[in-house]
Structure 1
Amino acid sequence: MRLLRSSTCAVRQYIFVDLDTREADVIDPVLDYKTASGTLSTIAADILLKFVKEKELNVPMDFVKSFDIFLKDEEEFSLSSNITGKVIHLPGHTPDHTGYMVGKAIFTWDSIFMPDLGSARADFPGGDAKDLFASITRLLSLPQDYQLFVGHDYPVGRQHDCMATVGVHQTKNKHGGFGTTESQFIQFREARDKVSGAPRLLQPSLQVNIRAGKLPPASNGRVWLKTPTKLTNPNIAL
């Protein structure tokens, strides 16, 4: 799935490589989107492709189908001829949120952030703070040396990072570490989400993600993304 993003947003993209066979999988590639000019670019994707070419990796590609298969919770799938991964259903941020476990590495996306940031919001369509707490608890119940790779990072006073171990999260995650009760998390998360403005790229992202990463149909060489507008006074439209 391709997610729209701004060129300044700290979105993590990963390339998983089987060092024995040179087979590789790209996890969560994105498009660059500038809202001010309405332009799309492939800056981030081009960096990934350059890395793939330089390292002489073999990435399975399918430009015909956006979805190849649908996977169930804990279902295994092949990442290469030698290595398998496992799906982990992690609802809360969104109802269909998933992570991928490969050995001791788990790509968690927005089910958890770096320990000093805590957790993602749970007020997106279908999101639920109780479900998010359950997903975080599931992740933090894994062995302490397992590595959680996040989908975003918004650091304050430190360098960007992408991974912390389960053990570090257990003691240092500011929202859902050990000792945090379900009621405490839900109360905090729901209160925080009520005062958080809508993400700047929420509407364009939804319109692309709901199409499985494809852009809306083009018209006269342009793609149109809708912006919902609520009228506080119906006479404005007259």
Structure 2
Amino acid sequence: MSGTHEPIVHAIYDLSTGTWQYIVADPDTRRAAIIDPVLDFDNTTSRIATGSADALLQKVALEGYEVDLLLETHLHADHISAAFYLREALRQRQSYAPQCCIGSGIEKMQRVFGDRYGVDEDEWFHAFDRTWADGDSFQIGGLQVTVLHLPGHTPDHIGYQIGSNVFCGDSIFNPDLGSARCDFPSGSAVALWNSMQRLLSLPPDYKLYTGHDYPPAGRLSEEGESKPQPYATVQEHKSSNKHVKMGVLEAEFVELRTTRDGSLREPKLMHEALQFNIRAGRMPKQTADGERFVRLPLRLPESLTAV
């Protein structure tokens, strides 16, 4: 079955990481995919919990969906993916396990960070069931999905176009935030500019669903609270995106993005997240004592570097 009709979209916001998670479903067949799911992680105690992921499972059950795919937009450095946890939980509920999927550039990133953190290749090689390249297409029930390669924030970054909706991860932020950082390995402000221009070339009514939102003080709900929003239209971005609206030149954007990236701290969960996410959210191997570890780099003063 194939089709171009519109999906049902459930946008679920994870407050602790500012992440948008999406359940996307075909209204006719009730087949679904989950995009960019989050595991809860407290880096002060190193405790992992599944509350956010379990809420996704509850929503899936409530709506009567069968989940075929767990879709990542890129290798996240700011939260731990719940993809593997959800795959195993859904395996128990359904007669099959959904596939964990990501962009085809992931193997290069897995090797870079596997080497950096000393993660054995057998823990990350083939961690994902499928990888997608630019222009690939697949189905969620009767929904046609087209893959868009959107590098810049990370080189492996992809988006998923479904009808008039694009789930574009960190390749563009809401208009009052602008864009995501590009200072990770093989990130590129020029590549991000080109990816955003690709998105802005879509029809003006298309919705661009972002991967994160950090509502600024001026964006308030009717109750006076900061209000995260999952998407803005192409036209809204062209009119008011603070980094790439009409009239902004590539050189201006590249200078702005590069300067800003030079002033940013690394994400607080970066080292933990990367070690989990190259494994598609799997836990590190147990030691002989039954414990699991991740590695964290030390920042040494010059007086200790020779010790």
TM-score, normalising length: structure 1? 0.92
CA displacement at 1:210 relative to structure 2: 1.7
Higher helix share: 2
Q: 1:182 to 1:73 in 2, by over 3 A?
A: same
Q: Deviations for 1:80-111, whole angstroms, at most 9, x for unmatched residues?
A: 2x112010000000000110000100001000
C-alpha separation between the residues in 1 aligned to 2:48 and 2:185?
A: 25
C-alpha separation between the residues in 1 aligned to 2:130 and 2:44?
A: 36
C-alpha separation between the residues in 2 aligned to 1:119 and 1:9?
A: 17
| Preserved contact between residue 7 and residue 33 of structure 1 (Cα < 8 Å) | no
1:76 is the counterpart of 2:84: no
| Preserved contact between residue 87 and residue 98 of structure 1 (Cα < 8 Å) | yes
C-alpha separation between the residues in 1 aligned to 2:229 and 2:198?
A: 22
- What amino acid is the match of 2:197? T
Q: 1:70 to 1:108 in 2, by over 3 A?
A: same
* Other-structure match for 1:3: none
C-alpha separation between the residues in 2 aligned to 1:23 and 1:160?
A: 27
* Other-structure match for 1:96: 156
* Other-structure match for 1:37: 45
C-alpha separation between the residues in 1 aligned to 2:274 and 2:239?
A: 34
TM-score, normalising length: structure 2? 0.72
Equivalent residue for 1:119, pick from 166, 179, 184: 179
C-alpha separation between the residues in 2 aligned to 1:145 and 1:110?
A: 20
The 3-state SS of whatever aligns with 2:151 is coil
CA displacement at 1:234 relative to structure 2: 5.3
* Unaligned residue ranges in structure 2 (runs of 5+): 1-13, 69-96, 101-125, 220-226
CA displacement at 1:233 relative to structure 2: 2.3
Equivalent residue for 2:66, pick from 58, 73, 80: 58
C-alpha RMSD over aligned residues: 1.8
C-alpha separation between the residues in 2 aligned to 1:63 and 1:85?
A: 15
- What amino acid is the match of 1:226? R
C-alpha separation between the residues in 2 aligned to 1:132 and 1:52?
A: 33
The 3-state SS of whatever aligns with 2:194 is helix
* Other-structure match for 1:145: 205
* Unaligned residue ranges in structure 1 (runs of 5+): 1-5
1:163 is the counterpart of 2:223: no
- What amino acid is the match of 1:178? M
* Other-structure match for 2:77: none
Equivalent residue for 2:262, pick from 194, 199, 211: 194
Give the paired residue count: 232
CA displacement at 1:67 relative to structure 2: 1.9
CA displacement at 1:209 relative to structure 2: 1.6
* Other-structure match for 1:204: 272
Over the matched positions of the two proteins, sequence identity in percent amounts to: 43
The 3-state SS of whatever aligns with 1:48 is helix
- What amino acid is the match of 1:129? A
| Preserved contact between residue 22 and residue 34 of structure 2 (Cα < 8 Å) | yes
